[in-house]
Structure 1
Amino acid sequence: MADSTLWWLLAGAAVAVELLTGTFYLLMLAIGLAAAALAAHLGLSQPAQLVVAAVIGGGAVVGWHFIRLRRPREEPAQANRDVNLDIGETVHVTRWHPDGTASVKYRGAQWTAVPLAGSIPVAGPHRIREVVGSRLVLEPLQEA
């Protein structure tokens, strides 16, 4: 069996395992294996093929790792607008109860609301920051 065939089979196996596990890093390693297959087609020696696979695959893994580090962290699902479309909507709080909660009407139903940690509970317009269970976590809107 030719060296290039072995490298292509290994690259295909890495892609198949990535599809089963969802580990994106395996695709980066598959790129290195495919580069080694191309090196074999060019007639490079086996040690050179291994170096190509290691440098290209390892470089892709390291590069992807640094790209992921630069991305902003995703918010948890209860505070992520992509998951819960209520995030960012506004409600009006008429008064806060002594226990630190409020009852607000939102989407045709009564909801229990709590203030965002560190914010002072005041009556008026508020923005929904999180939905935790059946409670809305609110932050007061700054009035201009």
Structure 2
Amino acid sequence: MSAWMTWAVLAGVVVILELFSGTFYLLMISLGMIAGALSALIGFGTSVQLIVAGIVGSVATIALHSSKYGWKGNVDAARDPNVNMDIGQIIEVPQWNEQGNGNFTARASYRGAMWDVEMHHGSGEPGQYVIQEVQGSKLIVKLSTR
């Protein structure tokens, strides 16, 4: 088997492994292997093939990592609207109780249940508020601009 065929088979194996992992990073490594196969097809030596495969695979992996599809840092689930459907929703707060230092608490009905509501550094006026965070059965809100 010639060198370019070996590179192509290895790239295919890595693509199959990627299907089991569910990430795109192994695809980037397989792109490097395809670049190695192309350099073998052109006729470069083994050392050049390895360097080309390494550089292309590394650049592709770094490009993926810095793109919007790359690895995301740990996101607090209490504040992530992709995890919690309540983030960004509107809640009507009929009355606030001042706790001091600009902190207010309330009890309000939301989705058919009574919730503890907390607001830091607000005015304490009744009205509509946007849910910013969910901490157990407590909603952290800010004043709605709608």
Interval of TM-score (by shorter of Structure 1 and Structure 2)? 0.7 to 0.9
Equivalent residue number for residue 15 of structure 1: 15
TM-score, normalisation: structure 1: 0.77
Equivalent residue number for residue 80 of structure 1: 80
Tell me the secondary structure at the aligned position of residue 39 of structure 1: helix
Query: Residue type of the partner of 1:108?
Result: G
CA contact (8 A) 1:122 1:140 kept: no
Aligned-residue sequence identity (percent) comes to 35
TM-score, normalisation: structure 2: 0.76
Partner Cα distance (1:33, 1:40) in 2: 10
Partner Cα distance (1:12, 1:104) in 2: 57
Equivalent residue number for residue 113 of structure 1: 117
Deviation at 1:7, TM superposition (A): 0.8
Deviation at 1:32, TM superposition (A): 0.4
Equivalent residue number for residue 135 of structure 1: 138
Equivalent residue number for residue 55 of structure 1: 55
**Structure with the higher helix share, 1 or 2:** 1
Q: Where in structure 2 are there 5+ consecutive unaligned residues?
A: none
Cα shift readout 1:101-129 (whole Å, capped 9, x = no counterpart): 311112222111111x4445433221111
**Structure with the higher strand share, 1 or 2:** 2
Q: Where in structure 1 are there 5+ consecutive unaligned residues?
A: none
Deviation at 1:37, TM superposition (A): 1.2
Tell me the secondary structure at the aligned position of residue 97 of structure 2: coil
Counting matched residue pairs gives 142
Cα shift readout 1:6-38 (whole Å, capped 9, x = no counterpart): 212221232233333344322211100011112
CA contact (8 A) 1:93 1:102 kept: yes
Partner Cα distance (2:133, 2:35) in 1: 46
Query: Residue type of the partner of 1:136?
Result: L
